[in-house]
Amino acid sequence: MTRADADRSLPGQSERNPAGSNGFTLPPGEVQVWRVALAVSEPRCRQLSELLDGPERERAARYYFPRDRRRFTVARAGLRLLLGAYCGVAPALIRFSQNAYGKPALEGADPPLDFNLSHSGEMALYAVARQAELGIDVEQHRPDIALLDLARRFFAPSEAAALVALPAPARAAAFYRCWTRKEALIKALGLGLAMPLDAFTVSLQPEASLLDLRGHPGAAAEWLLRNVPVPEGYTGALAVRGPGWRVRVQDWDPDRAARPGMTATTHPVSSAQQ
Ligand X SMILES: CC(C)(COP(=O)(O)OP(=O)(O)OC[C@H]1O[C@@H](n2cnc3c(N)ncnc32)[C@H](O)[C@@H]1OP(=O)(O)O)[C@@H](O)C(=O)NCCC(=O)NCCS
- Quick check: 116 and 82 in contact, CB under 8 A? no
Q: CA 196 to CA 88: how far, in whole Å?
A: 38
Cα angle, residue 228 at apex, residues 225 and 233 outer, rounded to 5°: 125
Q: Is 177 in the site for ligand X (CB under 6 A)?
A: no
d(CA 84, CA 257): 16
> What is the enclosing helix (H) or strand (E) of 120?
strand 114-120
Residue 119 near ligand X by CB under 6 A? yes
Contact between 94 and 84 under an 8 Å Cβ cutoff? The reply is: yes
- CA dihedral for 11, 115, 268, 233, sign (positive or negative): positive
For residues 148, 177, 197, 243, the Cα torsion angle rounded to the nearest 10 degrees is -160
Q: Which of 31, 87, 117, 249: binder of ligand X (CB under 6 A)?
A: 117
Question: Of 10 and 160, which CB lies nearer to ligand X in the complex structure?
Answer: 160
User: With binding defined as CB under 6 A, does residue 242 bind ligand X?
Assistant: no
CB-nearer residue toward ligand X: 24 or 80: 80
Q: Which of residues 178-207 bind ligand X (CB under 6 A)?
A: 179, 182-183, 186-187, 190, 192-193, 197
**Sheet with 134-140, edge to edge strand ranges:** 134-140, 234-241, 223-228
Nearest distance from C-beta of residue 66 to ligand X, angstroms: 17
Shortest Cβ 34–ligand X spacing (Å): 14
Would you give the binding string for ligand X spanning residues 65-84, x where CB under 6 A is met? ----------xx--------
Is 91 a residue that touches ligand X (CB under 6 A)? no
Single residue of 8, 69, 103, 171 touching ligand X by CB under 6 A: 103
Considering beta carbons, is residue 35 or 76 the nearer one to ligand X? 76
Which C-beta is closer to ligand X: that of 84 or that of 135?
Answer: 135
Is 104 a binding residue for ligand X by CB under 6 A? The answer is yes
Please classify residue 149 by burial: count the beta carbons closer than 10 Å to its beta carbon, then call 0-12 exposed, 13-18 middle and 19+ buried: exposed
Smaller CB separation from ligand X, 46 or 153: 153
Q: Which parts of this chain interact with ligand X (CB under 6 A)?
A: 75-76, 101-104, 116-119, 135, 137, 154, 179, 182-183, 186-187, 190, 192-193, 197
